[in-house]
Amino acid sequence: MKTPKKATRKNIKKSSRIKNVERYTFNSIFTINPIGTISTNFPIIINGLSYGQGTLLTPTSPFLGGVNIFNNIGKDISGTFNPSTRVVSIQGFYYG
């Protein structure tokens, strides 16, 4: 499995970059399936809750760690990637 694809940094202010936190594209972390579901491409952690690779989410699924992924489709993701455990820790979504 490949490392998640980082979004471009040209629109991010240098002062807003926090060490080790990267910007990733939505589609590098999640896959939107043709039947209207979303699945995870990597094991993820959101607000301290862990979800395995391939976790299937439906529009009626409980929010992941209090976050409704369906409201954030297509938005870039702020987070860290641990290459030794291959886990993405999602810290938030970029708006605007």
Answer whether residue 7 is part of any domain: no
**Whole domain around residue 32: which residue ranges?**
18-93
- The number of folded domains in the chain is 1
pTM, whole model, 2 decimals?
A: 0.75
Answer whether residue 6 is part of any domain: no
Answer whether residue 61 is part of any domain: yes
Answer whether residue 12 is part of any domain: no
Answer whether residue 33 is part of any domain: yes
Q: Give the model's pLDDT for residue 7.
A: 56
Mean pLDDT by 10-residue block, N- to C-terminus, for the chain (96 residues)?
58 47 93 95 91 91 82 93 88 88
Answer whether residue 3 is part of any domain: no
Provide the 8-state DSSP code for 19.
T
Is-contact 44 90, C-beta < 8 A? yes
Give the type of residue at 3.
Answer: T
Q: Give the model's pLDDT for residue 19.
A: 52
Output phi, psi for 46, to 5 deg.
Answer: -125, 120
